[in-house]
């Protein structure tokens, strides 16, 4: 959907003669505009079985498609709307993130993602997402100080980790450890109090990198590394992941900057599956740590944040550029469950703006690490080239999404595939908690409770086991 409510394009002053000729037209246009203005801002549903009409108001956002308010639809008509996957359903009003998927626009609080990725850094973006405005120097200093000084985990959490198998997937540990924070931090839980909401938000943003790094350390059989307050957010995560107590670890600033930029790109993405999960869980008044744990579980799936891991698995499986046509053919075959991972998006029907930035970042990281040739990057670029020329991908508007190139960067930095989605979760925690906090103060927010079209058996009588027939 093209951006709406944009200021009309400015036109050059018309010449006098044409102005006169146009004056009649202008009067007609004004009359049409007046007529249009008089039209009711409603949509009418007609039940063709009875001829009954039902009017629903059209409500507007500051930008983006208009919205039909159908909250009274069931009460009026006795029918539900049916929209599996919620492709046409808005579940809330939000002022955090705006996406125009048709043209590939992503904005956090009105700021284009390209500008934030270029000029900002992750904690400043986190402040922006949480508060709505860019911070002053003092506000940023205080926020960074608060996040930096809450990165340690309650010491007992060591033992919680130790209950897991060493070969557990890091996302399994993340789901569990983040949920467990509800047990470790059960003070300040009046979520109607802005201070308590702020404390829960800061705790989550500061502790999530420690949890992810420790999930990695545990899988490697290495000692957990404590956070370092002299490092920035991304640098500290690299330290907790790759340092050992045996030697000094020096954070590479180019890699830290690339990681910080990846965190910015992944920080929020409006009402996607995991964010909607967080909102749905939170709509019952549940503990925010438990809600974020639910979000992490939803993110894990390969159709969502798990795609970055799946892309690398797929590229490894393809192995050679000569085999690309075979996999493209499989992706197009409706009888084959194989899909091109890292391609396609529910909202973007154009190039995902984040994928463009990540592709550039990929080259920076490989250059910095002196990797002249990365076969998986060559393969990915060739796969993209072939797919974007293929009629099926063109017709279905399938472009690379945020996850297509991110795994290649993470791999070059030394992360195993299983950590990719965990790193997505670090960044998205900011978006999840900002969305949760927004919902908590939204007077229109109600417990989330979709309805269903029932297609099971109709009412029947219980049959005693002795009279049941074998199938």
Enumerate the active-site residues.
345, 403
For residue 330, the minimal CB distance to ligand ACO (Å) is 9
Q: Is 171 exposed, middle or buried (CB count within 10 Å of its CB: 0-12, 13-18, 19+)?
A: buried
Exactly one of 346, 368, 388, 448 binds ligand ACO (CB under 6 A); that residue is: 346
Cα gap 102→86, rounded to integer Å? 18
Q: Is 344 exposed, middle or buried (CB count within 10 Å of its CB: 0-12, 13-18, 19+)?
A: buried
The verdict on 260 binding ligand ACO (CB under 6 A) reads no
Exactly one of 184, 222, 224, 339 binds ligand ACO (CB under 6 A); that residue is: 339
Of residues 191 and 343, the one with the C-beta less far from ligand ACO: 343
Residue 100 backbone dihedrals phi, psi, to 5 degrees = -115, 95
Exactly one of 212, 258, 291, 340 binds ligand ACO (CB under 6 A); that residue is: 340
Cβ-closest position to ligand ACO: 344
Of residues 413 and 427, the one with the C-beta less far from ligand ACO: 427
Q: Is 76 exposed, middle or buried (CB count within 10 Å of its CB: 0-12, 13-18, 19+)?
A: middle
Mark the segment that binds ligand ACO (CB under 6 A) among 62-70, 133-141, 218-226, 396-404.
396-404
For residue 457, the minimal CB distance to ligand ACO (Å) is 29
Of residues 287 and 421, the one with the C-beta less far from ligand ACO: 421
Q: ∠ CA(446), CA(436), CA(280), 5° rounding? A: 50
Exactly one of 170, 179, 295, 342 binds ligand ACO (CB under 6 A); that residue is: 342
Token readout for 391 is 């009629």
Q: Which residue has the tokens 């467990």?
A: 180
Token readout for 271 is 């009402």
The verdict on 345 binding ligand ACO (CB under 6 A) reads yes
Whole-angstrom CA distances from 347 to 126, 265, 323, 333 are: 23, 16, 30, 23
Of residues 59 and 303, the one with the C-beta less far from ligand ACO: 303
For residue 344, the minimal CB distance to ligand ACO (Å) is 2
Question: What does DSSP assign to residue 465?
Answer: G
The verdict on 85 binding ligand ACO (CB under 6 A) reads yes
Q: Are 444 and 93 in contact (CB under 8 A)?
A: yes
The verdict on 398 binding ligand ACO (CB under 6 A) reads yes
Of residues 216 and 404, the one with the C-beta less far from ligand ACO: 404
Number of residues binding to ligand ACO, judged by CB under 6 A: 19
Q: Is residue 330 helix, strand or coil?
A: helix
The verdict on 303 binding ligand ACO (CB under 6 A) reads yes
Q: Which residues of this protein are in contact with ligand ACO, per CB under 6 A? A: 85, 303-305, 307, 331, 339-346, 396, 398, 401-403
């Amino acid at each position: 959907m093209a951006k709406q409510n944009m200021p009309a394009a400015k036109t050059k002053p018309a010449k006098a003669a044409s102005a006169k000729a146009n004056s009649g037209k202008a009067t007609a246009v004004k009359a049409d505009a007046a007529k249009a203005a008089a039209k009711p801002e409603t949509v009418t549903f007609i039940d063709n079985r009875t001829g009954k009409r039902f009017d629903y108001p059209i409500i507007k956002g500051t930008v983006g498609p208009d919205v039909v308010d159908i909250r009274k639809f069931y009460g009026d008509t006795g029918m539900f709307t049916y929209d599996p996957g919620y492709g046409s359903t808005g579940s809330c009003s939000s002022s955090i993130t705006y996406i125009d998927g048709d043209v590939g626009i992503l904005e956090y609080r009105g700021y284009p993602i390209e500008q934030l990725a270029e000029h900002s850094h992750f904690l400043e973006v986190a402040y922006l997402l949480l508060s709505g405005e860019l911070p002053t120097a003092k506000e940023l200093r205080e926020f960074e100080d608060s996040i930096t000084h809450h990165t340690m985990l309650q010491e007992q959490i060591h033992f919680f980790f130790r209950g897991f198998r060493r070969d557990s997937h890091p996302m399994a540990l993340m789901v569990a450890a983040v949920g467990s924070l509800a047990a470790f931090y059960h003070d300040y839980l009046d979520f109607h109090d802005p201070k308590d909401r702020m404390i829960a938000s800061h705790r989550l943003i500061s502790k999530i990198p420690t949890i992810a790094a420790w999930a990695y350390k545990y899988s490697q059989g290495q000692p957990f590394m404590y956070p370092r307050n002299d490092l920035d957010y991304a640098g500290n995560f690299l330290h907790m992941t790759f340092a050992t107590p045996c030697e000094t670890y020096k954070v590479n600033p180019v890699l830290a900057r690339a990681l910080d930029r990846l965190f910015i790109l992944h920080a929020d993405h409006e009402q996607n599956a995991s964010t909607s999960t967080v909102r749905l869980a939170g709509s019952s008044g549940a503990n925010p740590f438990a809600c974020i744990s639910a979000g992490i579980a939803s993110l894990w799936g390969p159709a969502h944040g798990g795609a970055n891991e799946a892309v690398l698995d797929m590229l490894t499986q393809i192995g050679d550029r000569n085999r690309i046509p075979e996999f493209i053919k499989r992706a197009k075959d409706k009888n084959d469950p194989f899909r091109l991972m890292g391609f396609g998006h529910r909202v973007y029907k154009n190039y995902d703006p984040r994928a463009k930035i990540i592709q550039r970042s990929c080259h920076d990281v490989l250059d910095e690490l002196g990797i002249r040739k990365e076969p998986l990057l060559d393969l990915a670029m060739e796969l993209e080239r072939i797919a974007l020329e293929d009629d099926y991908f063109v017709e279905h508007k399938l472009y690379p999404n945020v996850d297509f190139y991110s795994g290649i960067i993470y791999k070059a930095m030394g992360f195993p595939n299983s950590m990719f989605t965990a790193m997505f979760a670090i960044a998205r925690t900011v978006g999840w908690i900002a969305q949760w906090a927004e919902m908590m103060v939204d007077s229109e927010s109600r417990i989330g409770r979709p309805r269903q079209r029932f297609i099971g058996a109709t009412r029947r009588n219980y049959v005693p086991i002795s009279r049941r027939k074998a199938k």
